Structure 1
Amino acid sequence: MTRGTFKKFVGIEAWLVLALALFAGAANAAWDINLQEPVTSTARRIYELHTFLTWLIFAIFVGVFGVVTYSLIMHTRKRGHKAATFHDNTTIEIVWTVIPAIILVMIAFPATKALVAARDTSQPDITVKATGYQWKWGYEYMTGDAAGVKFISALATPQNQIRENAPKGEHYLLEVDRHLVVPVNKKVRVLTTSADVIHAWSVPAFGVKTDAVPGFVRDTWFKAEKEGIYRGQCSELCGKDHGFMPVVVEVVSEAKYAEWIAEQKKAMAAGAEDPNKTYALDELVARGEKVYAANCAACHQPTGKGLPPVFPALDGSAIVKGPKENHLKIVLNGKPNTAMAAFGAQLSDLDIASVVAYERHAWSNQLNDAIQPAEVKALRAK
């Protein structure tokens, strides 16, 4: 093969690889190249700023590369041009300093205006606290008619879809068991914090992305102008299940919001736990199995075999089969320098008692320990 033929062959091969890559992308992805439709004033400002900057950058690109291309074509030695020998041109230096400065001012003015508006959390209609946990969100309504309503919002995508044993659903990895519900056209202030590592509460359609930092309370706000369900995700790399921590906000009418509040308060009253009640083992195990599936199975597996060495097995574990107080303390407080998170802030006394009773009864453990909520409450007080 001659050198020229080889170059031609390599060139054809490169074009084929490029074409295959483009067609593969078209077959496997939607060609969505824009931001989500904005439904808040903040998101709209971001969208408009994005559009303005895109056109500005395009104009700069055309101008710069137009001059470069013209110079390359028209100012060649074949056309009789000779390279200039000058240096230090005050006029040119002033021009290429002033023009970028003007461009920066053009960018800074709308960007600053959008940033200041995005940070104005004053005079909210509703305040909600969002606490990040590995790997779910805890919501608590702080003000308004819903004050006192709180719940955990966790991924609802079935494990068989995640393990590719079933077809993926429409909202794969973007659905939760309980939505954050807010009324339309009301200013909602969101306080963010974290119980373990840094998370980030993000909903693109609202133009909102705020870190949730352990030991700190940060805030953001949104005022949705359109009813609907809006989805986001934790936008901070927060550990093993970072990609399994969605945010779902449901915006409803004021009438539906009032109905939802009434339903939540009724459910909370009905489910209120009696700290002095003594539960039978079968009651604890049945409840604990559900708590385990929602909070523990992703790491320790439904079989209790875990994923050693990072996630140890619970089946036959020395901790599970040891003193129940030690077992309860680990579930309550977590284990430092490991992936074991603290569940004391996430789960009630009854839930913790139930899941520990389940783990000590399940698989080959079979300890039959009926742990009561009062025991968990006593440990919290220590």
Structure 2
Amino acid sequence: MSKLMPLLGGLVVIVSANVFAKYGFNMTQGVTSISRDIYGLHMMVFWLCVAIAIIVFGVMIYSLVVHRKSQGAVAANFHESTKAELLWTAIPIIILVLMAVPASIVLIDLEDTSKAEMTIKITGHQWKWQYDYPKEGISFISNLKQDSKDLIYSGNRHENYLLEVDNNLVLPVDTPIRLLITSNDVIHNWWVPDFGVKQDANPGFINDAWVQIDEIGTYRGQCAELCGKDHGFMPIVVDVVSKADYAKWVLQQQAAKAATFAKSSKTWREEELISLGQKVYNTNCSSCHGITGKGISGVFPALKGSPIATGDIKKHISIVLHGKAGTAMASYKNILGDADIAAVITFERTAFGNQMGDLIQPVQIKAAR
């Protein structure tokens, strides 16, 4: 039996470690100094609570066993005790101070964004994220990847189901980065567990945070605020790369931006507009209006045979550019380029049986802005 006990003890440790790794009962340590500080604070408070529980329940169990009536113990009879009052006041104060000092240090560090070397603006939309790099002049929308959308109503799943996007946020390693987080419509929440960042995105307000990521890799997160029917379909994917690779990526994005401007000045053929328009529609419009354009009765209007998609072209352009106040119809003026808006309007007026035969060119969108 004595030889068996160490083996059983080792098995318990192995099983416990496997269970811990699989189910992740504890907090994520993360890859930033902030996330590790939060983890350290959490573990300090946890073990302090464990120590308090051991002492309190130890004394209680000891008292129940040693001072029971069957052993002839007689309960003390007193009304007030100055010593007891001082003890149960002073000890909790000391414990709270022991927790408050390191907690205050971490909280102050969380709010201090003065050390940042670059800034990223993050804007939540229903149901996507917009990332702006002010210094680099880069801006793009990050949507749930189409292959995940295609699997939503099927039984098939892949490893990162609902955790893949079409445009990843790219950040350099070992760089203090300030994050400005806001929203264009309702309250969202930008949350990446490995970064130790979980910040509300409130319309009309800007919250900030900062990160300095120590390890190259891909990190995933999600919107952590219930923001509407597709709340579960707006993940976050961050690629952390070397500073040299980040510089190359910036040049590629700036070249792509120049190409987008070039697309806005050319005259598009019908098949080009419809092909691009279908992609833009599936990414940006299908969540509300549906793949078939039938919408959701009483919630999101149908485009199939609608007065907008079959009526005045100028009104159609206007509502896509500027949105509609008091509804979920967002403004795409600062989200999509002229070519994308022209293409999606052409698609909406051609698909779903509308067959209006209208071709909208990017120059028309540019003139309507």
> Common fold, TM-score beyond 0.5?
yes
Shift of 1:55: 0.5
Counterpart in the other structure of 2:271:
282
1:128-207 map, 5 Å: 128-143=120-135, 147-156=136-145, 157-165=147-155, 167-207=156-196
- Whether 1:356 aligns to 2:348 is no
Q: 1:262-286 CA deviation, whole Å, 9 max, x = no partner?
A: 2222222223245554433332222
Structure 2 counterpart SS, 1:291: helix
Structure 1: stretches of 5+ with no match in the other structure: 1-25
Counterpart in the other structure of 2:65:
73
Shift of 1:352: 1.6
Structure-2 separation of matches of 1:322 and 1:197? 30
Shift of 1:214: 1.5
Q: Which moved more, 1:149-158 or 1:264-273?
A: 264-273
Structure 2 counterpart SS, 1:151: strand
Q: Is the 8 A contact 1:192 1:212 kept in 2?
A: yes
Structure 1 counterpart SS, 2:23: coil
Q: Which moved more, 1:333-342 or 1:289-298?
A: 333-342
Shift of 1:333: 2.7
Structure 2 counterpart SS, 1:111: helix
Q: Which moved more, 1:86-95 or 1:334-343?
A: 334-343
Counterpart in the other structure of 1:118:
110
Structure 2 counterpart SS, 1:249: strand
Q: Is the 8 A contact 2:260 2:337 kept in 1?
A: no
- Whether 1:99 aligns to 2:81 is no
Identical-residue share of aligned pairs (%): 50
Q: Is the 8 A contact 1:333 1:343 kept in 2?
A: yes
Q: Which amino acid aligns with 1:56?
A: L
Structure 2: stretches of 5+ with no match in the other structure: 1-17
Structure-2 separation of matches of 1:292 and 1:368? 17
Structure-2 separation of matches of 1:76 and 1:327? 83
Q: Which moved more, 1:215-224 or 1:102-111?
A: 215-224
Counterpart in the other structure of 1:272:
261
Q: Is the 8 A contact 1:306 1:312 kept in 2?
A: yes
Counterpart in the other structure of 1:53:
45
Which of 55, 59, 71 is the matching residue for 1:63? 55
Counterpart in the other structure of 2:35:
43
What TM-score do you get using the length of structure 2 for normalisation? 0.89
Shift of 1:124: 1.9
Q: Is the 8 A contact 1:200 1:236 kept in 2?
A: yes
Q: Which moved more, 1:254-263 or 1:65-74?
A: 65-74
Q: Is the 8 A contact 1:184 1:225 kept in 2?
A: yes
RMSD: 2.1
Counterpart in the other structure of 1:375:
364
Quick one: structure 1 residues 93 and 367, their matched pair in 2 at CA, closer, same or farther if it must change by over 3 Å? same
Q: 1:302-354 CA deviation, whole Å, 9 max, x = no partner?
A: 11122222122211222222222222232223333333333222112222221
Q: Is the 8 A contact 1:193 1:216 kept in 2?
A: yes
Structure-2 separation of matches of 1:337 and 1:73? 68
Structure 2 counterpart SS, 1:271: helix
What TM-score do you get using the length of structure 1 for normalisation? 0.86
Structure 2 counterpart SS, 1:30: helix
How many residues align? The count is: 350
Which of 236, 251, 255 is the matching residue for 2:225? 236
Structure-2 separation of matches of 1:214 and 1:284? 33
Shift of 1:289: 0.6
Shift of 1:291: 0.3
Q: Is the 8 A contact 1:188 1:223 kept in 2?
A: yes
- Whether 1:252 aligns to 2:241 is yes
Q: Which amino acid aligns with 2:343?
A: S
1:7-22 map, 5 Å: none
Q: Is the 8 A contact 2:123 2:184 kept in 1?
A: yes
Q: Which amino acid aligns with 1:249?
A: V
Structure-2 separation of matches of 1:276 and 1:228? 38
Q: Which amino acid aligns with 2:182?
A: T
Structure-2 separation of matches of 1:151 and 1:133? 12
Structure-2 separation of matches of 1:97 and 1:330? 64
Q: Which moved more, 1:193-202 or 1:43-52?
A: 193-202
Q: 1:234-256 CA deviation, whole Å, 9 max, x = no partner?
A: 12221111111111111111221
Structure-2 separation of matches of 1:214 and 1:375? 30
Counterpart in the other structure of 2:11:
none
Q: 1:35-85 CA deviation, whole Å, 9 max, x = no partner?
A: 223211111100100111110111112222222333333333333334433
Counterpart in the other structure of 1:310:
299
Counterpart in the other structure of 1:9:
none
Structure-2 separation of matches of 1:159 and 1:274? 27
Counterpart in the other structure of 1:294:
283
Structure-1 separation of matches of 2:264 and 2:254? 19
Shift of 1:93: 1.0
